[in-house]
């Protein structure tokens, strides 16, 4: 049966939001750990540990979002078999791209405070 | 296009279809399982709870009308506002939107019913009976009084020794069951029972909203289920999850509660938004503008809202940067909400509006909800929140959001959709009265509360002194709330005058809307299941209604002689197989009553009675499970002249496989929350979390239970392999394997528990002990369930109901079994290696 063709397109369609969620979890955990275990004072490359790690996480997340976005743009994300489904494939692709774009904004949005707000009060 | 069936249809075909779907009459109404009936009961019950909770609110408001009022004392007051909030949130709002889904989705998707009708019926009756019992606790002074979010330590044994808090835990036990059952039903229904041709890009927006809604329940509710289980264990057996002196942490409750609680707000709002997205195009007589962006908005809201939970905890001492993440996410989630609002406004602008009652309620919704959103942005800002926290400003904000975001759309939906279930539509004239009374009443009541809050009045106080000048404001709010009550009363009168369900007739497409729920229908839904080529098929396929009624489309009769619907593929909606649906049955009704009675006896600590009732409830469920997974016919069934479909398929295409997968997702989320709790307690209470003197069990105690769990899974795999070779192999191999798997799994659990016990770990001594044993508690639930399921599979095999092509019971048991093993091994790995890794022991 054709169910296998379901999970991949679904996964790709919401991939932006999954990446957002992963990024959110990581930076929240990093900050919680740093504050509870008092690691926040350490510095890396002249940057506080917390902002540094958050920046790294953001680069990874934003990079992945961009790569999937380009693939979707070039029609390289999974499509449905047979021509009858072309409209559905195009629809899913467009949703994928807008989801990626919104997730990109959300990820960047979440990173900015790391450079403005002190990590642990 | 080509029609699947030729005309004329044989004369007896329609007769047979009607007979098969004949609704139960008289007393047997309780045994109805099809969505036309259960949906109406369900919506009705949730509305009843709205009225009951509203009455409590009126008492609260009357008490607050004048300073130093002596109407109700503080003890009763606490119970009143707690019950009001709890009943509104758990027994009205979530069930109401879920109920609308049960009622509308099959119609809208062109299905004869949702895939698990008995599950819907069970979920409904459990909720109704349990909810009423819970509500009655207020008449005995036993209602909970810790506020709707029940923060410990206020609700811990020390400060709430009576049964009151236990009633809360009971009360939401029901909504947990029924919400999750409903979510499974809705997800599988939307993915698998759509009309042929209704690919994802043609899915009605309401169905998208319900899909996201159900997904959010799957990932949100487990957190609160775990939280209530932890609090229950703490209260009943003194396991210190939230007691700081033994390494627990009350803030853990807040995390778990709000991880569910914030998404809950969107769980309530998204279905309402989905309804609005159906009503607006119909009332504006033009397709929804920016369909794709609205779908994006629904998906994004579903995800982003999980990143907001801490904005309810700004004042708990969380590090400022962490608060900023949540503040940023709170702003980000405003983007998708904004997209939807603009899409509705643009649709209104693009079309010609019919100014009917549903339109008024949508406009009222836009106004009130937007105001609530604005104050939401205000309280999402940390410094402002510190000022407004726990004042009437927050009460004002939350009611603007909830009433604007959910109650107004629901009333719009009532006026809009009642013609499909009632012989007569509701009255336009009375409806306008309802609208204006509600709209003015809500604004008078709650706008004033913003000011009361800024003037410093805290929430949850039963009275206030004369000299603080809050008196006039409160009087205004109280008068407004009576206006709301008057509006609801007019609505009830309208219902009595015009609502005529279950007559076998309906008022039809009174708004000239474009989606499938407006097709002419009977208890069997549509005469034949249409082939859909656009998003508004009734607008774009003008002959559709006529052809559907004539029986030109799929499945014009009842070819198997029973109820059935077409299962389609999840993305492009191609017909896959014919699903046989059950008819009326007493199992769900009785099973639900026993379940409700079971919970009640636990609360009042009649454990033996509870055990008996629980066994009866399980018996009922087994009774109805027994005739699922029917015999597969060798020859496929004709649903069109040239279209034949098999009955019942094996593996990932089957609806029961989907149901099991969703259930596993629920379990996996709950387990993740438990892992989070474990790590969280370590993080915040590291020093006293694991007592220094404590010895971890030797590693052999990790190896033995792991090996046992794996062995039990291996036995189940073997059974599956054997089953696919039936009847060429001896069925006793399969039976022996299933039979052996059960004790293996039990031994795995027993050795895991013994390992902790023999090194002297006790669950009530420290939060570490409590949380480690909690892994076994959770595992134990699966062991118990799988034991029953294993025996069920055996029974089916012994009675000849298991074969290579008829094996859903075995396959679904196996799926859950492997999940249990995976969860057990992960839990053991964590509890054995994490402390070692951290050098704790
Ligand atoms: C229909 C008219 C309504 C009125 C007049 C009303 C009135 C009130 C009042 C006065 C309070 C504050 C009690 C206090 O803090 O002492 C309150 C709390 C609350 N209301 Fe309502 N309400 C209404 C509708 C709703 C609806 C529709 C919902 C949800 C869907 C809701 C959910 C809540 C919640 C969650 C609380 C907080 C309870 C707590 O503090 O534990 N209310 N309501
Ligand atoms: Cu929130």
Binned at pLDDT 50, 70 and 90, residue B201 comes out as very high
A64-88: b or e for each residue (b if 16 or more CB lie within 10 Å)? bbeebbebbeeeebbbbeeeebeeb
What pLDDT is recorded for position B544? 94
Distance B57 CA to ligand 1 centre (A): 6
Q: What is the spatial distance between Cα B445 and Cα B57, in angstroms, rounded to a whole number?
A: 12
Q: Is the dihedral of CA B25, B28, B29, B31 positive or negative?
A: negative
Distance (angstroms) between ligand 2 centre and the Cα of B652 equals 37
Residue range B819-824: mean pLDDT, rounded: 98
Shortest distance, CA B201 to any CA of chain A (angstroms): 6
**Cα B667 to averaged position of ligand 2 atoms, centre (Å):** 24
Supply the residue whose CA is at minimum distance from atom 40 of ligand 1. Answer: B147
For residue B750, list its beta bridge partners.
Answer: none
Q: How many CB atoms lie within 10 A of CB B141?
A: 12
For residue A114, which residues of chain B lie inside 8 Å, CB to CB?
321, 324
Ligand 1 binding pocket includes B389 (Cβ within 6 Å)? no
Strand, coil or helix: B533: coil
pLDDT of residue B636: 85
The C-alpha atoms of residue B359 and residue B416 are separated, in whole angstroms, by: 9
Q: Mean pLDDT of all residues in chain B? A: 93
- Interior angle at CA A57, CA A54 and CA A61, nearest 5: 135
In 3D space, the residue among B424, B420, B499, B378 whose CA is nearest the CA of residue B100 turns out to be: B420
pLDDT at res. A45: 84
Residues in chain A, total: 121
Regarding the beta carbon of B663 and ligand 1, being less than 6 Å apart is answered no
The rounded distance, in Å, linking the Cα atoms of B537 and B197 is 11
> What does pLDDT average to over chain A?
88
Asked if residues B130 and B68 have their Cβ atoms less than 8 Å apart, the reply is no
pLDDT value for B590: 95
Q: What is the pTM of this model?
A: 0.95
> Which residues of chain B are within 8 Å of residue A87 when distances are taken between CB atoms?
199, 201
H helices present in B690-766, as ranges: 700-725, 731-758
| pLDDT mean over A89-111 | 93
| Phi, psi torsion values for B576, nearest 5 degrees | -115, -50
Question: 3-state class of A48 per DSSP?
Answer: strand
The packing angle between helices B291-304 and B205-237, to 10°, is 10
Cβ burial of B805 (10 Å; 0-12, 13-18, 19+) is middle
3-state class of B565 per DSSP? Answer: strand
Distances (CA, A) of B717 to A117, B5, B650, B696, B710: 54, 44, 16, 33, 10
CA–CA distance, B225 with B334 (Å, rounded to integer)? 28
Instruction: Provide the b/e sequence for B5-34 (b: ≥16 CB within 10 Å).
Output: beeebeeebbeebeebbebbeeeeebbbbb
Beta carbons of B541 and B557 less than 8 angstroms apart: no
Q: Which of the residue ranges A85-99, B8-22, B35-49 has the most confident prediction, judged by mean pLDDT?
A: B35-49
Q: Is the pLDDT of residue B821 over 60?
A: yes
Measured CA to CA, the distance from residue B822 to residue B807 in angstroms comes to 23
Q: What's the token pair of residue B318?
A: 């969380």
Which residue has a Cα nearest atom 29 of ligand 1? B88
Mapped onto helix, strand or coil, the DSSP state of residue B576 is strand
3-class secondary structure, B248: coil
- What confidence score (pLDDT) does residue A3 get? 54
Distance CA A98, CA A69 (A): 9
Distance B79 CA to ligand 2 centre (A): 23
Cα(B294)–Cα(B720) distance, rounded to whole angstroms?
44
Element containing residue B601 per DSSP (H, E): helix B587-603
> Which residue, by CA, sits nearest to atom 19 of ligand 1?
B85
Closest partner residue to A95 among B292, B324, B576, by Cβ?
Answer: B292
Q: Do residues B422 and B501 make contact, with C-beta atoms less than 8 angstroms apart?
A: yes
Q: pLDDT band at residue B203, thresholds of 50, 70 and 90?
A: very high
Largest CA distance in chain B: 89
Query: Once rounded to an integer, what is the mean pLDDT over residues B367-378?
Result: 90
Question: Does B542 contact A at CB distance below 8 Å?
Answer: no
CA–CA separation, B72 and B80 (whole Å):
9
The answer to whether the CB of B148 is under 6 A from ligand 1 is: yes
A2 pLDDT higher than 60: no
Residue B784: both structure tokens together: 């118990």
Complete DSSP assignment for B366-400: HHHHHHHHHHHHHHHSHHHHHHHTTBHHHHHHHHH
Whether B48 and chain A come into contact, CB under 8 Å, resolves to no
Q: b vs e for B170-209, b when ≥16 Cβ sit within 10 Å of the residue's Cβ?
A: bbbbbbbbbbbbbbbbbbbbbbbbbbbbbbbbbbbbbbbb
Is residue A4 scored above 60 in pLDDT? no
Contact B683 A109 (CB under 8 A): no
Is a pLDDT exceeding 90 seen at residue B603? no
What tokens does B285 get? 């007589």
Of A3, A31, A94, the CB nearest to B319: A31
Nearest-angstrom CA–CA distance, B716 and B813: 9
CA distance B225 to B235: 15
| Per-residue model confidence as pLDDT tens digits over B92-138 | 999 999 999 999 999 999 999 999 999 999 999 999 999 999 999 99
- Spatial separation of the C-alpha atoms in residues B327 and B346, rounded to whole Å: 29
Rounded to whole angstroms, how far apart are CA atoms B311 and B332? Answer: 13
CB atoms within 10 A of CB B369: 26
Q: List, in sequence order, the alpha helices (H) in B502-567.
A: 537-540, 544-550
Task: Dig out the tokens for B712 from the structure.
Answer: 């039990």
**CA B570 to CA B582: how far, in whole Å?**
23
Residue B280's Cα: distance from chain center in Å? Answer: 25
Nearest-angstrom CA–CA distance, B240 and B257: 17
B contact residues 282-301, partner A, Cβ 8 Å cutoff:
292-293, 295-296, 299-300
- ipTM surpasses cut 0.90: yes
How does residue B174 score in pLDDT terms, banded at 50, 70 and 90? Answer: confident
Q: Among all chains, which residue has been given the structure tokens 């191999």? A: B733
Given this model, what pLDDT does residue A38 score? 79
CA distance B64 to chain A (A): 39
Better pLDDT: B706 or B311 = B706
| Residue B751 pLDDT > 90 | yes
Any idea what DSSP says for residue B88? I
Contact A21 B303 (CB under 8 A): yes
Percent of chain B beyond pLDDT 70? 99
- Give mean pLDDT, residues B796-809: 90
Distance (angstroms) between ligand 1 centre and the Cα of B116 equals 35
pLDDT of residue B449: 97
Please indicate whether, in this complex, the C-beta atoms of B320 and A4 are within 8 angstroms of each other.
no
Helix (H) or strand (E) holding A44: strand A43-44
* CA-closest candidate to residue B274, choices B406, B76, B124, B447: B406
CA distance B166 to B155: 9
Min Cα distance B125 → chain A (Å) is 33
Choose the residue to mutate in B399, B434, B447 for probing ligand 1, maximizing ligand atoms within 8 Å of C-beta. B399
CB of B403 closer than 6 A to ligand 1?
yes
> In chain B, whose CA is at the least distance from the CA of A35?
B319
Q: What is the mean pLDDT of residues B21-47?
A: 93
* Chain B residues lying within 8 Å of A3, measured CB to CB: 569-570, 652-653
Supply the pLDDT for residue A5. 67
Helix (H) or strand (E) holding A64: helix A49-73
The answer to whether residues B142 and B167 touch, using CB atoms and an 8 Å cutoff, is: yes
pLDDT of residue B1: 60
Using CA atoms, how far apart are residues B674 and B775, in angstroms rounded to an integer? 8
Give one DSSP letter per residue of B117-181, joined into a string.
Answer: HHHHHHHHHHHHHHHHHHHHGGGGT-S--STTTT-TTTTSTTT--SSHHHHHHHHHHHHHHHHHH
Nearest to B742 by CA among B723, B779, B716, B706: B716
Residue B62: is it exposed, middle or buried by C-beta count within 10 angstroms (0-12/13-18/19+)? middle
Atom of ligand 1 nearest to the CA of B268: 30
Count of CB contacts below 8 A, A vs B? 127
Is residue B402 in contact with ligand 1, taking CB distance under 6 Å? yes
Contacts A108 to B, Cβ<8 Å: none
Q: Nearest-CA neighbor of B247 among B720, B692, B675, B808?
A: B692
pLDDT at B647: 85
Q: Note the pLDDT of residue A1.
A: 40
Q: Please identify, by atom number, the ligand 1 atom nearest to the C-alpha of residue B149.
A: 41
Give every CB contact of residue A120 below 8 A, 6+ residues apart in sequence: A31, A34, A35, A40, B319, B320, B321
């Amino acid at each position: 049966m054709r169910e296998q063709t379901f999970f991949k397109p679904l996964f790709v369609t919401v991939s932006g939001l999954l990446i957002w969620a992963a990024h959110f979890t990581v930076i929240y955990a990093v900050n919680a750990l740093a504050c509870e275990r008092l690691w926040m004072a350490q510095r890396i490359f002249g940057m506080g540990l917390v902002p540094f790690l958050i920046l790294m996480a953001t680069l990874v997340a934003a990079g992945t979002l961009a790569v999937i976005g380009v693939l979707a743009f070039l029609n390289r994300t999974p499509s449905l078999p047979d021509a009858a489904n072309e409209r559905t494939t195009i629809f899913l692709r467009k949703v994928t791209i807008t989801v990626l774009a919104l997730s990109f904004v959300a990820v960047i949005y979440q990173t900015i405070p790391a450079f403005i707000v002190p990590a642990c009060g | 296009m080509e029609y699947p069936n030729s005309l004329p249809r044989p004369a007896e075909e329609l007769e047979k279809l009607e007979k098969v779907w004949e609704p139960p009459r008289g007393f047997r109404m309780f045994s109805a399982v099809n969505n036309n009936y259960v949906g109406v009961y369900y919506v009705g019950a949730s509305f009843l709870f709205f009225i009951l909770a509203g009455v409590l609110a009126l008492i609260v408001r009357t008490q607050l009308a004048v300073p130093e009022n002596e109407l109700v004392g503080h003890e009763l007051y606490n119970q009143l506002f707690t019950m009001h909030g709890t009943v509104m949130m758990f027994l009205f709002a979530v069930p109401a939107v879920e109920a609308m889904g049960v009622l509308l989705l099959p119609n809208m998707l062109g299905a004869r019913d949702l895939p698990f009708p008995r599950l819907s019926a069970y979920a409904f009756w459990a909720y109704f009976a349990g909810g009423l019992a819970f509500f009655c606790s207020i008449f005995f002074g036993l209602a909970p009084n810790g506020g709707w979010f029940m923060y410990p330590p206020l609700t811990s044994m020390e400060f709430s020794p009576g049964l009151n808090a236990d009633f809360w835990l009971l009360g939401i036990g029901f909504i947990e069951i029924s919400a999750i059952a409903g979510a499974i039903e809705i997800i599988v229904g939307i993915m698998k029972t759509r009309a042929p041709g209704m690919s994802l890009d043609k899915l009605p927006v309401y169905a998208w909203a319900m899909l996201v809604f159900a997904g959010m329940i799957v990932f949100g509710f487990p957190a609160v289920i775990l939280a209530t289980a932890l609090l229950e264990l703490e209260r009943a057996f003194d396991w210190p999850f939230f007691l700081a002196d033994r390494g627990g942490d009350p803030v853990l409750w807040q995390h778990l509660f709000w991880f569910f609680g914030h998404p809950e707000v969107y769980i309530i709002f998204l279905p309402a938004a989905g309804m609005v997205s159906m009503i607006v195009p119909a009332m504006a007589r033009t397709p929804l503008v920016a369909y794709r962006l609205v779908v994006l908005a629904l998906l994004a809201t579903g995800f982003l809202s999980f990143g907001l939970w801490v904005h309810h905890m700004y004042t708990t001492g969380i590090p400022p940067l962490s608060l900023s993440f949540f503040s940023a996410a709170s702003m980000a989630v405003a983007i998708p909400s904004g997209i939807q609002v603009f899409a509705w406004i643009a649709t209104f602008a693009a079309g010609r509006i019919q100014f009917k009652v549903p339109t008024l309620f949508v406009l009222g919704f836009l106004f009130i909800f937007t105001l609530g959103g604005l104050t939401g942005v205000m309280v999402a800002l940390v410094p402002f929140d510190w000022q407004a926290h726990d004042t009437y400003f927050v009460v004002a904000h939350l009611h603007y959001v909830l009433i604007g975001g959910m109650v107004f759309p629901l009333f719009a939906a009532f006026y809009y959709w009642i013609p499909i279930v009632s012989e007569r539509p509701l009255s336009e004239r009375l409806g306008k009265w309802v609208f204006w009374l509600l709209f003015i009443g809500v604004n008078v009541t709650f706008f004033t509360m913003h000011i009361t809050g800024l003037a410093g009045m805290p929430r949850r106080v039963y009275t206030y002194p004369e000299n603080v000048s809050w008196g006039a404001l409160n009087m205004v709010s109280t008068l407004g709330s009576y206006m709301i009550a008057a509006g609801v009363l007019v609505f009830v009168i309208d219902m009595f005058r015009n609502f005529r369900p279950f007559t076998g007739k309906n008022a039809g497409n009174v708004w000239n809307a474009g989606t499938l729920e407006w097709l002419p229908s009977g208890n069997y839904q549509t005469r034949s299941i249409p082939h859909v080529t656009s998003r508004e098929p009734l607008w774009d396929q003008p002959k559709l209604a006529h052809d559907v009624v004539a029986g030109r489309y799929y499945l014009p009769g009842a070819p198997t002689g029973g109820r059935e619907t077409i299962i389609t593929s999840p993305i492009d909606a191609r017909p896959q197989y014919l699903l046989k649906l059950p008819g009326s049955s007493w199992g769900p009704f009785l099973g639900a009553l026993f379940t409700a009675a079971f919970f009640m006896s636990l609360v009042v600590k009649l454990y033996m009675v509870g055990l008996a009732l629980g066994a009866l409830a399980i018996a009922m469920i087994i009774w109805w499970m027994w005739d699922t997974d029917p015999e597969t016919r060798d020859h496929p069934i004709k649903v069109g002249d040239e279209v034949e479909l098999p009955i019942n398929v094996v593996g990932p295409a089957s609806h029961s496989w989907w149901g099991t997968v969703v259930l596993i997702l629920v379990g996996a989320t709950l387990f993740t929350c438990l892992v989070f709790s474990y790590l969280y307690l370590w993080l915040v209470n590291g020093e006293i979390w694991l007592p220094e003197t404590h010895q971890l069990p030797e590693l052999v105690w990790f190896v033995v239970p792991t090996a046992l769990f794996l062995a039990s899974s291996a036995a189940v795999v073997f059974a599956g392999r054997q089953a696919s070779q039936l009847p060429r192999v001896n069925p006793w191999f399969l039976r022996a394997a299933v039979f052996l798997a059960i004790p293996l799994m039990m031994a795995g659990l027993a050795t895991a528990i013994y390992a902790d016990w023999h090194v002297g770990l006790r669950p009530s001594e420290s939060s570490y002990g409590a949380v480690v044993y909690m892994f076994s508690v959770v595992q134990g639930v699966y062991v118990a369930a799988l034991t029953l399921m294993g025996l069920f599979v055996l029974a089916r095999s012994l009675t000849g109901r298991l074969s290579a092509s008829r094996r859903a019971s075995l396959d679904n048991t196996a799926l859950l079994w492997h999940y249990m093993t995976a969860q057990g091994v992960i839990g053991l790995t964590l509890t054995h290696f994490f402390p070692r890794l951290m050098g704790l022991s």
